[in-house]
Amino acid sequence: MERSVNNFELIRPLLSFSADDERYYHLQVIRRGKDNPDMTGANRMVKTYYVTSLEVFDRITDEVINMCKLFHARAYINLSPKSARETTLQMLKDTADRILYGDYRKPWRLWHTCAGEVKGKPQAWIVDLDECDEVNPEVVECINSLEPLGSEKIVATVPTKSGFHLITRPFRLDKFKTRFPGIDVHKNNPTILYVP
């Protein structure tokens, strides 16, 4: 099952901002080697966005869609909001490490690298359900029954090209993996926003 995907309307209400906020959501448009067999290398970054408000998200929507169509690419967004302060501090540390080891190549890429590595808060995990037409209710029940108890952990169900991503809050991964060893869970990964 392969399908085009447009999750802009689904994801918009999941983005949260406040007036004094220095957080951002990391959005990337990526050409994948899987989708472009003539491309050298596995993946190529087309463009990166740092979404700092719903206005920014709305303003870039058409641009992202058009870019995906033009480059036969996919758009991804990490739903764990990241701190600009923490990203900057990580960049300064990585800059000092590079200077220490005499590596002065492409320092302008450090911010992008750090934005991908810094963990956001609150964390949004992705339970990757590939090759399925519907979400298995046993998976949902299992996740919601795991510690920490008290609230539903599934924030959203996001359609992907060949299945679904369950966007969740953290849960006891070891117990989940005992029951569903074949399902991947990603702790600092983006979900699909758009696939032409």
Tell me, yes or no, whether 147 lies in a domain.
Answer: yes
Three-class HEC string of the chain: CCCCEECHHHHHHHCCCCCCCCEEEEEEEEEECCCCCCCCCCEEEEEEEEECCHHHHHHHHHHHHHHHHHHCCEEEECCCCEEHHHHHHHHHHHHHHHHHCCCCCCHHHHHHHHHHHCCCCCCCEEEEEECCCCCCHHHHHHHHHCCCCCCCCEEEEEECCCEEEEEECCCCHHHHHHHCCCCEEECCCCEEEEEC
pLDDT score recorded for residue 71: 94
Q: Both 129 and 185 in a single domain?
A: yes
94 lies in some domain:
yes
In a domain, 62, yes or no: no
**What integer pLDDT is reported at residue 2 of this predicted model?**
66
Q: Is residue 105 part of a domain?
A: yes
What predicted TM-score, i.e. pTM, was given to this entire model? 0.90
Same structural domain, 88 and 105? yes
Co-location of 113 and 131 in the same domain: no
Residue where a domain terminates, one of 76, 99, 117? 117
Residues 169 and 135 in one domain: yes
Count of the separate structural domains present in the chain: 2
- Which of 72, 101, 117 is at the close of a domain? 117
For residue 97, tell me if it sits in a domain.
yes
Per-residue pLDDT of the chain (196 residues; tens, 9 = 90+): 567 999 999 999 999 998 778 999 999 999 998 888 888 878 999 999 999 999 999 999 999 999 999 999 999 999 999 999 999 999 999 999 999 999 988 888 899 899 999 999 999 999 999 988 899 999 999 999 988 876 779 999 999 999 999 999 999 999 999 999 999 999 999 999 999 9
Note whether 91 and 112 are same-domain residues: yes
pLDDT for the residue numbered 37:
84
* pLDDT for the residue numbered 148: 82
Same domain, residue pair 110 and 155: no
Please check whether residues 102 and 135 belong to one and the same domain.
no
Can you tell me the distance from the alpha carbon of 38 to that of 41, in angstroms, rounded to the nearest whole number? 9
**Last residue of a domain, which of 71, 95, 117?**
117
| CB of 121 closer than 8 Å to CB of 159 | no
Q: Are residue 129 and residue 184 in the same domain, yes or no?
A: yes
pLDDT of 152 reads 79
The residue range of the domain holding 90 is 84-117
Label residue 145 exposed, middle or buried (CB < 10 Å: 0-12, 13-18, 19+): middle
